């Protein structure tokens, strides 16, 4: 099929590259000219395992442009994959969704054949029908359900393993406005072996929010259990193993530590809480999950202060700046509140990350960036904030290490303490 993808971030570019691998022709659109140039050169503008090689291998099947018209005229299905970050008050920001929808609709006005628009960005229940649909009709002078198809197809990939997640998902959710949209997407996904869940537009939107809120809550839950275990001298990871073997619970997302970050959980949880309030419902469990997550990284500093009571003037090392390993994404990284707190305490911060230092330096130029992980260990104490594999090979002997991510190899340190074990 001929597809276009609007927005070439972690979701859009992975979607485009994977569909190209599956034999489709894909045109990617972005407003960022530099990203477009790189993609056309077969280079990924973001760090995601395997993406560079997909872009090079399928160079002839993927084109990138800033021009909506070329992309829409040459494709039959368009995926909207633009960002939906949060505003300062936690509300979802629909600016990019509205802008890209208007641009898509303006091109569809002059297109004679049927075109399916698929929202892949994470949007609150009611958005596809209540915001995207009216804009499509207004700017195209056409009717959704007749001339234009409309569907909502949330994405569940995880950064770091995004390509594998896209190609081998646990499920594919297709929310559709009309039957033709549903059958078109069914055809597109026909070679996937996972269950296809076909729903209304708003159920598809809610599945995404409910899944993210549940996973965030699961992590906060085990962190709360971890905090109790630490007080009682119980190994939280033994508890997680014992709990996780119960098939109703499952072991994944039971690794206690300093909490969740990234581009999705924090903003989706915030948006759900604000939206729940707007429709006069509570979101008490989800709010508590967020509260636990706000406090959790600062526990690392509390533990550090036990070992070094006066932090002023000390040098503290930070291992890991990305919000999780195998990505350069630093959005809502747990290292951020920790570094802010250290700076407030008059600490000299030395940091290293295999992929995220360039992005982090733009926001925090005042800290020292090391060229090797081992240099970080030449500090008064080191905090482990991201579980990069590279950190397993360091020599921790003789060091003070406070671990937020359960790196077993660091237990050889002179003084080692985990955040909740
Ligand atoms: N990152 C994830 O792990 C993940 C997983 C599942 C779902 N999602 C959801 O997918 C959506 C995209 O997330 P992301 O992480 O890929 O975002 P991102 O910020 O990495 O990428 C968004 C891209 O959209 C582009 N863009 C903005 N306005 C545009 C416009 N008018 N026209 C064309 N391009 C435009 C930006 O330049 C950027 O390249 C969000 O709704 C997010 O919640 C993200």
Percentage, residues of the chain above pLDDT 70:
100
pLDDT for 311 equals 98
Does the C-beta of 5 come closer than 6 Å to ligand 1?
no
Residue that is written with structure tokens 């036990």 in the block: 306
Instruction: Give phi and psi for 72, each to the nearest 5.
Output: -75, -40
Average pLDDT score over the chain = 97
pLDDT for 29 equals 98
pLDDT for 154 equals 98
Kindly report, residue by residue over 296-313, the tens digit of the pLDDT. 999 999 999 999 999 999
Whole-number CA gyration radius for the chain: 23
Kindly report, residue by residue over 255-306, the tens digit of the pLDDT. 999 999 999 999 999 999 999 999 999 999 999 999 999 999 999 999 999 9
pLDDT for 42 equals 92
Whole-model pTM? 0.95
Q: How far is the CA of 388 from the centre of ligand 1 (A)?
A: 24
| Atom of ligand 1 minimally distant from the CA of 82 | 24
Percentage, residues of the chain above pLDDT 90:
100
pLDDT band at 85 (very low <50, low <70, confident <90, very high): very high
Q: Which two tokens stand for residue 97?
A: 């969704």
Q: Which of 18, 28, 229, 264 is catalytic?
A: 264
Best CA proximity match to 259, nearest among 221, 228, 211: 221
Residue that is written with structure tokens 């090392």 in the block: 317
Helix %, strand %, coil % for the chain, to 5? Answer: 45, 15, 40
Contact present, 15 and 27 (Cβ < 8 Å): no
Kindly report, residue by residue over 91-113, the tens digit of the pLDDT. 999 999 999 999 999 999 999 99
pLDDT for 342 equals 98
For residues 381 and 314, give the distance between their C-alpha atoms in angstroms, rounded to a whole number: 9
> Ligand 1 test: best mutation among 81, 93, 325, most atoms within 8 Å of CB?
81
If you take atom 18 of ligand 1, which residue's CA is the nearest one? Answer: 9
pLDDT band at 197 (very low <50, low <70, confident <90, very high): very high
For residues 142 and 381, give the distance between their C-alpha atoms in angstroms, rounded to a whole number: 63
pLDDT band at 416 (very low <50, low <70, confident <90, very high): very high
pLDDT for 72 equals 98
> Ligand 1 test: best mutation among 16, 30, 37, 67, most atoms within 8 Å of CB?
30
Kindly report, residue by residue over 342-358, the tens digit of the pLDDT. 999 999 999 999 999 99
Dihedral sign (CA 324, 258, 218, 225): positive
pLDDT band at 57 (very low <50, low <70, confident <90, very high): very high
pLDDT for 104 equals 98
If you take atom 11 of ligand 1, which residue's CA is the nearest one? Answer: 121
264 part of the active site: yes
Does the C-beta of 329 come closer than 6 Å to ligand 1?
no
């Amino acid at each position: 099929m001929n597809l276009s993808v609007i927005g070439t971030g972690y979701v859009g570019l992975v979607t485009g590259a994977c569909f190209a691998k599956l034999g489709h022709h894909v045109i990617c659109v972005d407003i960022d000219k530099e990203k477009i140039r790189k993609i056309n050169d077969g280079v990924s503008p973001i760090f995601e395992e395997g993406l560079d090689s997909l872009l090079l291998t399928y160079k002839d099947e993927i084109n990138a442009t800033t021009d909506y018209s070329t992309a829409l005229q040459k494709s039959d299905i368009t995926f909207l994959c633009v960002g939906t970050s949060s505003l300062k008050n936690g509300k979802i920001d629909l600016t990019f969704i509205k802008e890209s929808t208007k641009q898509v609709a303006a091109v569809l006005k002059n297109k004679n054949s049927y075109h399916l628009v698929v929202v892949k960005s994470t949007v609150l229940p009611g958005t596809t029908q209540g915001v995207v649909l009216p804009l499509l009709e207004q700017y195209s002078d056409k009717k959704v359900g007749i001339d234009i198809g409309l569907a909502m197809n949330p994405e569940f990939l995880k950064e770091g393993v995004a390509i594998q997640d896209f190609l081998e998902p646990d499920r594919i959710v297709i929310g559709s406005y009309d039957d033709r949209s549903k059958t078109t997407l069914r055809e597109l996904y026909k070679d996937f072996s996972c269950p296809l869940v076909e729903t209304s537009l708003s159920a598809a939107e809610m599945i995404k929010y409910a899944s993210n809120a549940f996973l965030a809550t699961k992590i906060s839950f085990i962190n709360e259990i971890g905090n109790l275990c630490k007080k009682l001298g119980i190994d939280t990871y033994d508890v997680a193993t014992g709990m996780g073997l119960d098939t109703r619970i499952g072991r994944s997302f039971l690794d206690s530590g300093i909490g969740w970050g990234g581009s999705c959980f924090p903003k989706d949880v915030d948006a759900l809480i604000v939206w729940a309030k707007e429709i006069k419902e509570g979101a008490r469990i989800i709010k508590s999950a967020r509260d636990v997550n706000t406090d959790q990284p600062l526990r690392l500093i509390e533990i550090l202060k036990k070992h070094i009571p006066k932090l002023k003037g000390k040098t503290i090392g930070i291992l890991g700046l990305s919000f999780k390993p195998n990505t350069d994404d630093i959005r809502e990284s747990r290292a951020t509140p920790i570094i802010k707190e250290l700076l407030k305490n008059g600490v000299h911060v030395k940091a290293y990350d295999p992929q995220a230092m360039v992005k982090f330096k733009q926001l925090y130029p005042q800290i020292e960036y090391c060229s090797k992980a081992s240099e970080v260990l030449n500090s008064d104490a080191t905090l482990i904030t991201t579980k990069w594999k590279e950190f397993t090979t360091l020599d921790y002997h003789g060091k003070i290490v406070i671990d937020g991510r359960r790196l077993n190899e660091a237990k050889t340190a002179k003084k080692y303490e985990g955040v909740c074990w």
